[in-house]
A and B are shown apart, each in its own frame.
Chain A
Amino acid sequence: MTQSETVGAMLNRRGVSRRAFMKYASYLTSVLALPATAGAAMAQGLAAARRQAVIWLSFQECTGCTESLTRGYGPTLEDLIFQFISLDYHHTLQAASGEAAEAARRQSMQENSGRYLVVVDGSVPTRDGGVYSMIAGRTNIDILEETVRDAAAVIAVGTCASFGGLPYANPNPTGAVPISELVTGKPVINVSGCPPIPEAMTGTIAHLLAFGEPPALDGHGRPIAFFGDSIHDRCYRRAFYERGQFAESFDDEGARQGWCLYKLGCKGPIANNACATLKWNGGASFPIQSGHGCFACAAPNFWDQGGFYRPLSAITRDAGGVAAAAAAAGAVLGAGAAVLAGQRKREAMKGTGK
């Protein structure tokens, strides 16, 4: 596909039928939680779009975000998204290395000035002049500043890039900061998660392509389409929560019966993400379905929230904000549920010896 060819023309040339494309648009519409009738507009926007240049920068990260993006896909309709973008620079995936790789980045920036997207995974160390993460002899701060200068928008993928993540965790020895603290004057979209759901990354790019603007964002700069609902609200185990049926340990009868994992530290009520609906590995499962509570890995400071296996109701000192958020989440259930939550809190406190 040439840079000037539209996505629609390219797909047509490759034998992708209009109906197949409409199916893909329906899928994207569903994934992006757009009104179900928006499929036609999505299909029209994508068909008219031109291939998008993308520069992917990797800083203080573990490559889990890239693993998620590349391993989340089989030979399916979802592959279409990779036809829409030109991934011009990515340490892990590109064939070029050394000076040739850096030259590819500079060339893409020059040829697509003002139009290219920058995707960043990893936080940026700022302590001691940023020396704790260097690429080609340059600090991450320096490379980021240069690369975003003529970008159209920046997508921070993963919790490290969005909120600092693990490098940012107490005591934050490298002075790590999220991308949004360093980039100004450009749209910065946070697609958090450790790692993020592949569809959240590709869906965000598809929205930018189809509609020419970022999707609606929440207070943390994340697409509401993927982060608008709590895991708890969309969890299939929610019915057990309502019935007061909880697993008390990972090998008791409740766990075997698939009951709610709230008492085992599940952070579903304060975790906004799409794991319960989109799931992982091609829709096969998600952590709670596999028997483990949610970590709230897409939330700011999730690593410092007072223990993965402590019930939310038992966390009162280590993470004041978490308890407040849990109370807020519970508030929508109404007064009756609040009484029930109070009972559960007392029971859970007994369980943890508090």
Chain B
Amino acid sequence: MTTLIFNKPPPTFDEPTSLVAAVVREVATLLARYAGTGEEGAIDLRTLPLTEADRLALREKLGAGEVRARIDAAGASDIEETGIAGVWWIRHEDCEGKLMAEQIAITACPAILAASGEDIAAGLAKLEAILRSEGGGGSAP
């Protein structure tokens, strides 16, 4: 019988807890601050004792938006805008699919999506090398 205990996954609760309302309220506070001052915000979901029911209820309340992006860098990252513009649900996994970080970010666009100046310069150099190898010569205009 002991084996059963060890094999059993943590129990879940059918009904979401009051944590969901607290998180939604915090999202609203952070979004109001961002709208007023431009200060970005984020809530670290990984450290909150959310049950599966809580997680589902939270996603349902925030809804699904128009933007979805997947980053493939040292594992998958999913960046999704929720149904509330400026509120993003971000999940980072490692190479083995283990959840490393999960947060709700309040911003116009998460910084990880944008290409950095250094990366753009490196990209340009790469493109020029391709053009040279094809015999076109010269550099980008």
A binding-site residues for B, Cβ under 8 Å: 16-20, 22-24, 26-27, 29-30, 33, 35-37, 40, 74-78, 234-236, 238-240, 250-251, 255-258, 276-277, 282-283, 289-291
Contact = CB atoms under 8 A, between A and B. Distances in A.
B75 A77 contact: yes
B6 A290 contact: yes
Q: Which of A22, A27, A258, A282 has the most CB of B within 10 A?
A: A22
A16 B73 CA distance: 8
A23 B49 contact: no
Interface in B76-90: 77, 90
Interface stretch (B60-68, B111-119, B130-138): B111-119
Interface residues of B, number: 40
Contacts of B41: 36-37
A19 B71 CA distance: 8
A74 B92 contact: no
Contacts of A18: 116, 118-119
B95 A76 contact: yes
Contacts of B95: 75-77
Contacts of A258: 5, 8, 10-11
Contacts of A78: 94
Interface of B: 1-2, 4-6, 8, 10-11, 13, 17, 40-44, 46-47, 49, 51, 71, 73-75, 77, 90, 92, 94-96, 98-101, 103, 105, 111-112, 116, 118-119
A289 B73 CA distance: 31
Given A18-B116, A235-B49, A23 B73 contact: yes
Q: Which of B73, B77, B98, B99 has the most CB of A within 10 A?
A: B73
B44 A30 contact: yes
Contacts, number: 108
A30 B98 contact: no
11 contacts: A18-B118, A23-B101, A26-B101, A30-B103, A35-B42, A36-B44, A37-B41, A74-B96, A75-B96, A77-B74, A256-B4
Contacts of B49: 234-236, 238, 276-277
Contacts of A236: 10-11, 49, 51
Contacts of A76: 75, 94-96, 98, 100
Contacts of A24: 74
A75 B94 CA distance: 9
A22 B44 contact: no
A197 B121 CA distance: 40
A75 B1 CA distance: 35
A16 B43 contact: no
Nearest to B8: A258
Contact of B98 (A35, A255, A276, A283): A283
Contacts of A36: 41-44, 103, 105
A19 B112 contact: yes
A27 B8 contact: no
